[in-house]
């Protein structure tokens, strides 16, 4: 039996520039925050990554062989605008010209993310990056160059990938505040500036290329209550509001919910605003929402003092994030594998906003090496992807508008924290943490499985 997907379903795969490109300071590229972050000794960095900068022709050929309908990629802002003058870099634009032209020649639609974690270090040095309103104008100038230069060739744009992580991770945004309370306040201020920049980009694209689509990518936070105790149930929904919907509400509706407004004011986290911001936020909206999902989490009633020694987006006096005893854990999926969580989370997003969605990241991380015959039998990844595609099929049957599916990742990419010890790709990149070798490409078994899924436009 086959579960058939819609005829125009976009089968894709994803990467991001700093995790795949390499080409460190080649072609006029400037430094990004991801280049200067402290990397533990013996771990790979961004200088080579998966060396897509030199392997892009081979990679596009592999994408065509795989049968991709879309390639979800990102531009390196620092490659296009290397310094604080914001002057476009012709060599950087030329690199993306040839990549996008090659994709189109092979019938692969580019889905381009403008901002995927890597902030230009020059802008952090000049005025503090997203902590400053100057970053809104810088982002708008960058978006204008991209929208104009690639008009007619790129028809789907992503404003910002996973704002949740972009504002929380100091190594990605350059926020060096040591006081944990002030850090949280900075985090919400940066988030507000990103929302303003997003809405300016929404409006700008409609002027430059009215036929193109644009939207944010959200790392959906599916939070289960540990028990049916009312306090645990309350903790779970409040966690979802604070870790997901406060950002999506700003992206889609241009406002905070009453709960979030009250929370931010009560904690002295409410951002500084200008009067004219209201029209910027209210006069534009996205065309779709990108969904990133790997696993669900679990929450319970808050007990004890606030714990600042955890990811900033888990820090709250309303809930504690805890282990879910009902999920199977793996080496790199420490919160557990939960395919049903994808449907649970996307159903909530769709019911709230009624916008088309596309899965822009979904994948399983494993430490892998080829066997003696040079093959990678990643049946565990096939099982993971298949289970999530079953949930997508169920949503499509319900009439939920899902545009496509882009597993993370096309090739093995540099993990922001674990280098190449942690691999997600359909294609293996032959390198170690300390020796990039030739970064040869090896198709994993999941490559052939996904190739058949695309060919059949469905799953068994």
Give the active site residues. Answer: 162, 361
Q: Tally the C-alpha atoms within 13 A of residue 250's C-alpha that lie toward its C-beta.
A: 30
The DSSP letter of residue 129 is: G
Whole-angstrom distance, CA of residue 191 vs CA of residue 244: 12
Whole-angstrom distance, CA of residue 297 vs CA of residue 341: 9
CA 380, chain centre distance (Å): 23
Q: What is 156-198 written as a DSSP string?
A: EEEEEE-HHHHHH-HHHH-----SHHHHHHHHHHHHHHHHHHH
Q: What are phi and psi of 459, to 5 degrees?
A: -125, 155
With 0-12 / 13-18 / 19 or more C-beta atoms within 10 angstroms meaning exposed / middle / buried, residue 2 is exposed
Whole-angstrom distance, CA of residue 161 vs CA of residue 37: 19
Rounded to the nearest 5 percent, the helix, strand and coil shares of the chain are 45, 15, 40
Whole-angstrom distance, CA of residue 411 vs CA of residue 398: 32
Residues near 239 by beta carbon (within 8 Å), at least 6 away in sequence: 221, 223, 297, 299, 316, 318, 319, 321
Contact (CB, 8 A) for 404 and 69 = yes
Contact (CB, 8 A) for 451 and 67 = yes
Question: In whole angstroms, how far apart are CA 333 and each of 56, 320, 329, 363, 387?
Answer: 30, 19, 6, 10, 15
């Amino acid at each position: 039996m086959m579960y058939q997907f819609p005829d125009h379903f976009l089968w894709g795969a994803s990467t991001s520039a700093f995790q795949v490109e390499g080409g460190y300071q080649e072609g006029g590229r400037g430094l990004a925050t991801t280049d200067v972050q402290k990397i533990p000794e013996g771990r790979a960095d961004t200088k080579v990554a998966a060396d897509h900068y030199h392997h892009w022709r081979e990679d596009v050929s592999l994408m065509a062989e795989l049968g991709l309908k879309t390639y979800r990629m990102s531009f390196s802002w620092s490659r296009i605008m290397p310094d604080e003058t914001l002057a476009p870099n012709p060599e950087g634009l030329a690199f993306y010209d040839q990549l996008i032209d090659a994709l189109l020649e092979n019938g692969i639609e580019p889905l381009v993310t403008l901002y995927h974690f890597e902030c230009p270090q020059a802008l952090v040095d000049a005025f503090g990056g997203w902590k400053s309103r100057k970053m809104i104008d810088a982002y708008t100038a960058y978006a204008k160059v991209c929208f104009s230069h690639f008009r007619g060739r790129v028809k789907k744009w992503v404003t910002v990938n996973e704002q949740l992580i972009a504002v929380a991770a100091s190594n990605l945004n350059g926020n060096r505040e040591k006081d944990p309370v002030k850090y949280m306040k900075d985090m919400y201020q940066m988030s507000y500036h990103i929302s303003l920049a997003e809405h300016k980009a929404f409006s700008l694209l409609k002027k430059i290329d009215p036929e193109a689509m644009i939207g944010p990518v959200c790392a959906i936070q599916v939070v289960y209550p540990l028990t049916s105790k009312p306090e645990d149930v309350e903790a779970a929904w409040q966690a979802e509001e604070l870790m997901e919907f406060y950002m999506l509400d700003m992206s889609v509706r241009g406002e905070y919910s009453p709960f979030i407004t009250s929370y931010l004011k009560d904690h002295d986290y409410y951002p500084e605003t200008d009067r004219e911001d209201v029209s910027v936020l209210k006069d534009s909206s996205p065309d779709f929402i990108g969904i990133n999902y790997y696993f669900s989490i679990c929450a319970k009633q808050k007990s004890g003092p606030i714990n600042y020694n955890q990811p900033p987006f888990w820090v709250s006096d309303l809930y504690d994030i805890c282990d879910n005893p009902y999920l199977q854990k793996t080496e790199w999926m420490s919160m557990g594998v939960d395919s049903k969580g994808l449907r649970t989370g996307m159903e909530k997003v769709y019911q709230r906003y009624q916008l088309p969605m596309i899965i822009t990241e979904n994948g399983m991380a494993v430490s892998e090496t080829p066997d003696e015959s040079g093959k990678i039998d990643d049946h565990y990844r096939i099982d993971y992807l298949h289970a999530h595609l079953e949930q997508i099929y169920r949503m499509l049957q319900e009439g939920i508008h899902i545009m496509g599916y882009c597993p993370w990742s096309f090739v093995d990419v540099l993990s922001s924290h674990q280098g190449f010890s942690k691999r997600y790709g359909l294609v293996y990149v032959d390198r170690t943490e300390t020796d990039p070798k030739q970064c040869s490409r090896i198709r994993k078994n999941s490559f052939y499985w996904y190739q058949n899924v695309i060919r059949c436009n469905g799953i068994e």
